[in-house]
């Protein structure tokens, strides 16, 4: 992600000025805002009589990706240039909308090519924060498909309505992030997560590392015996055995998720992937990149590359197996196609199979006559 250089410059200037105490405009600290906005009874009455809560939960804000990266209240509420303590409200009361694209230029540009942005033409405004929120924005990398969908798309859409052509909807929604299909030009990868069969839940990176007797820094050193920076099938097996010695039994689940790049915003009507073969095929480019993601406390993820071969292994449970000749799921899909009569070719073939005895008889008759 590219953060506008003027912002970087701004931070630099803020740093300089906080050292020299030169420019009061840069000196409005979060603390000053919080003198009033930490009051959980602070609210105002809107013209329609609705109450608007003006309290900011600073304990949550503290952990937001923005605060952690030094973005302050006035970096976003940039039309507050000074606090005039003589007034009851020390700043203007109708502030401009916060401009997210000012800093996130690339995402702002990518968002132009999106049904959500274009809805503006119909009078429906969907700002960045309709999906991301604003005071408590967090990194997304370590989030599961479930968390990503809940935070974003499911706030407004009920996917049950639109996907009747897709068999096993729930399975797909549990393992394929919505935007993997709906923003088809974005790079994607498979994120393997360790599922503990005894506690019936996903093991956090912290628990996984503790069980392996290692930590974030030494994880790869412990695992990657041949030091090629890729976890091979054998190395993954060693890891599973090590966990078993600690009485942790489980399997890996694979989730198909997007890389975090601006083009994830290219969601458009009629533009989604629906070709089964695009994923259900041994050579699918969708399954090229495989990683184990260790989630950090700040919800960033530490990604470690895994050999593609592991997807076919015993240790990866319930994942659409690829590369093999006896593909368990492909049989099922074949069945679905036939039952659903989705394919003309299949229908034609089926007709030929059913009518085969008749045709054979006819041929025999023909043969008799032609002798």
Kindly give the residue spans of alpha helices, DSSP state H, lying in 50-104: 58-61, 65-68, 73-76
- Nearest Cα residue to 263 out of 255, 251, 271: 271
| Minimum distance from residue 222 beta carbon to ligand HEC (Å) | 27
Which residue number, 73 or 290, has a Cβ lying nearer to ligand HEC?
73
Stretch that binds ligand HEC, among 110-118, 202-210, 213-221, 303-311 (CB under 6 A): 110-118
DSSP single-letter state for residue 163: -
Binds ligand HEC (CB under 6 A): choice among 6, 31, 44, 187: 44
C-alpha Rg value of the chain to the nearest Å: 28
Which residue number, 332 or 363, has a Cβ lying nearer to ligand HEC?
332
Binds ligand HEC (CB under 6 A): choice among 27, 91, 238, 242: 91
Token pair for 209:
């590392």
Binds ligand HEC (CB under 6 A): choice among 13, 17, 27, 77: 77
| Minimum distance from residue 235 beta carbon to ligand HEC (Å) | 22
| Minimum distance from residue 330 beta carbon to ligand HEC (Å) | 9
Is residue 235 within 8 A of residue 241, CB to CB? The reply is no
Which residue number, 28 or 205, has a Cβ lying nearer to ligand HEC?
28
How many residues bind ligand HEC, per CB under 6 A?
Answer: 110
Q: Which helix (H) or strand (E) holds 147?
A: helix 145-151
- Nearest Cα residue to 338 out of 354, 323, 325, 322: 354
User: Within positions 231 to 260, which residues make up the interface with ligand HEC, using CB under 6 A?
Assistant: 254, 256, 258, 260
Q: Is 189 in the site for ligand HEC (CB under 6 A)?
A: no
Binds ligand HEC (CB under 6 A): choice among 13, 27, 113, 134: 134
> What is the C-alpha separation between 225 and 229, in angstroms, rounded?
9
Q: What is the DSSP string of 257-325?
A: EE---GGGG---TT-----HHHHSSTT-GGGS-EEEEEEPTTS-EEEEEB-GGGGGSTTBTT----S-S
> What is the C-alpha separation between 249 and 264, in angstroms, rounded?
35
Binds ligand HEC (CB under 6 A): choice among 28, 208, 231, 243: 28
Instruction: Centre a 10 Å sphere on the Cβ of residue 69 and count the other Cβ atoms it contains.
Output: 9
Which residue number, 5 or 93, has a Cβ lying nearer to ligand HEC?
93
User: Within positions 256 to 315, which residues make up the interface with ligand HEC, using CB under 6 A?
Assistant: 256, 258, 260-262, 264-265, 267, 269-274, 276, 278-280, 286
User: Within positions 144 to 173, which residues make up the interface with ligand HEC, using CB under 6 A?
Assistant: 148-149, 152-153, 155-157, 159, 162-163, 165-168, 171-173
């Amino acid at each position: 992600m590219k953060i506008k250089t003027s912002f970087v410059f701004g931070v630099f200037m803020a740093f300089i000025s906080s050292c020299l105490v030169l420019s009061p405009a840069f000196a409005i600290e979060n603390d000053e805002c919080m003198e009033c906005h930490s009051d959980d009874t602070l609210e105002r009455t809107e013209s329609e009589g609705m109450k608007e809560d003006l309290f900011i939960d600073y304990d949550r804000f503290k952990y937001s990706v923005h605060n952690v990266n030094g973005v302050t209240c006035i970096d976003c509420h940039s039309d507050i240039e000074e606090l005039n303590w003589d007034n009851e409200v020390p700043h203007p009361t109708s502030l401009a909308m916060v401009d997210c694209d000012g800093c996130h230029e690339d995402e702002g540009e990518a968002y132009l090519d999106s049904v959500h942005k274009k809805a503006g033409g119909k009078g429906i405004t969907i700002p960045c924060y309709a999906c991301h929120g604003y005071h408590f924005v967090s990194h997304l990398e370590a989030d599961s498909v479930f968390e990503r969908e809940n935070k974003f798309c499911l706030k407004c859409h009920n996917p049950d309505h639109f996907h009747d052509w897709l068999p096993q909807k729930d399975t797909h929604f549990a393992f394929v992030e919505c935007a993997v299909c709906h923003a088809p030009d974005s790079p994607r990868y498979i994120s393997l997560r360790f599922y503990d069969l005894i506690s019936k839940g996903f093991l956090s990176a912290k628990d996984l590392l503790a069980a392996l007797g290692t930590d974030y820094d030494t994880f790869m050193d412990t695992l990657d015996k041949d030091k090629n920076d890729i976890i091979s099938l054998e190395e993954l097996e060693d890891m599973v055995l090590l966990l078993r010695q600690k009485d942790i039994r489980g399997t890996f689940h694979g989730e198909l998720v997007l890389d975090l790049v601006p083009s994830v915003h290219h969601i458009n009507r009629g533009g989604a992937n629906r070709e089964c073969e695009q994923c259900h095929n041994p050579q699918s480019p969708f399954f090229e990149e495989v990683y184990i993601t260790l989630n950090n406390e700040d919800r960033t993820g530490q990604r470690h590359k895994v050999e593609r071969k592991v997807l076919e292994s015993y240790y990866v449970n319930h994942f659409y197996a690829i590369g093999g000749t006896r593909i368990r799921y492909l049989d099922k899909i074949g069945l679905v196609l036939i039952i659903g009569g989705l394919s003309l070719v299949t229908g034609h073939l089926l007709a030929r199979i059913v009518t085969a005895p008749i045709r054979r008889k006819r041929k025999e008759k023909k043969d008799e006559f032609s002798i």
